[in-house]
């Protein structure tokens, strides 16, 4: 299953991905988005990278079938092999496509849920040593408006789009959602600890939804303590990581 210079990376107890040292490694944003997704029948991930979020969603039965879309051919290949390695053939299908060209034909009809961890830096990235990582961070091949438009095209009426994004670009996220006919309905801010500014925003938008946005309580990731010592998750965060779920209501 592994090619030269590749290795397995365990993600919790249920999933492992394939890494060759390029692209972004999975992190807090990926796991929290996987936990934030509500169960559905058919789903699609936009910009799946290594496939970690789709694999977590499959492992925790967030959808019966998932179409995971990735533009970079090397990343898409690793994601497809990780799907087979984890035993999710028939549940997760990886497509090497540009999200800006997607239609419902690519997902075998409208889906109930779309989810994405989009690039969060609006200006083009510099040509670095790792173009996969640059593309994952920078809007080099489509911005948040393109991700929202793709989600709207693929979703059934009243279907949900789940996204994790940077708080400083919340206005851009909400504007892009509304422009695509996706109404922001539920959101939560994630704080590293009680003394820090928020580092992430999780949001669920609904296609054709009525106006009205509810914010859930702040999620404090770590307990307060000596930042030079190993940090301890709060009880709520530990429960989310244990179950890959925020509970019945994400709001």
Instruction: Answer whether residue 240 shows pLDDT above 70.
Output: yes
pLDDT digits 0-9 by tens, 135-178: 555 555 579 999 999 999 999 999 999 999 999 999 999 999 99
For residue 170, the surrounding DSSP H or E stretch is helix 170-179
CATH number belonging to domain 7-243: 3.40.50.150
pLDDT score, position 141: 59
The mean-pLDDT minimum among 78-92, 168-182, 237-251 falls in 237-251
Instruction: Answer whether residue 23 shows pLDDT above 70.
Output: no
pLDDT score, position 251: 46
pLDDT digits 0-9 by tens, 96-133: 999 999 999 999 999 999 999 998 767 665 556 656 55
* Torsion angles phi and psi, residue 149, rounded to 5: -65, -45
Rounded CA gap, 192 and 223, in Å? 9
Strand partners, 35: none
Q: Output the pTM of the full model.
A: 0.91
Q: What is the largest CA-CA distance in the chain?
A: 52
pLDDT band (50, 70, 90) for residue 22: low
Percent of the chain residues topping a pLDDT of 90: 76
Mean pLDDT of 9-23: 82
Q: 141-170 as b/e, with b when 16 or more CB fall inside 10 Å?
A: ebbbbbbbbbbbbbbbeebbbbbbbbeebb
């Amino acid at each position: 299953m592994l090619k030269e210079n590749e290795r397995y990376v365990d993600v919790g107890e249920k999933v492992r991905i394939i890494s060759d040292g390029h692209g972004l490694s999975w992190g807090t944003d990926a796991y929290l988005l996987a936990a934030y997704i509500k169960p559905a029948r058919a789903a699609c991930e936009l910009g799946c990278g290594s496939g970690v979020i789709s694999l977590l969603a499959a492992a925790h039965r967030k959808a019966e079938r998932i179409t995971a879309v990735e533009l970079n051919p090397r990343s898409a290949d690793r994601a497809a092999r990780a799907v087979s390695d984890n035993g999710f053939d028939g549940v997760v299908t990886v497509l090497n496509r540009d999200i800006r060209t997607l239609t419902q034909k690519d997902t075998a009809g409208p889906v109930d849920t779309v989810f994405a961890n989009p690039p969060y830096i609006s200006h083009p990235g510099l040509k670095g040593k790792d173009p996969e990582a640059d593309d994952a961070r920078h809007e080099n091949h489509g911005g948040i408006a393109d991700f929202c438009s793709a989600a709207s095209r693929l979703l059934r009426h009243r279907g949900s789009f789940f996204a994790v994004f940077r708080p400083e670009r919340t206005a851009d996220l909400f504007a892009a959602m509304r422009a695509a006919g996706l109404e922001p309905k539920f959101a939560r801010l994630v704080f590293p600890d009680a003394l820090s500014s928020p580092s992430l925003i999780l949001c669920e938008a609904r296609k054709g939804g009525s106006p009205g946005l509810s914010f859930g309580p702040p999620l404090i990731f770590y307990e307060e303590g000596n930042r030079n010592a190993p940090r301890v998750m709060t009880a709520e965060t530990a429960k989310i990581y244990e179950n890959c779920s925020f509970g019945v209501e994400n709001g």
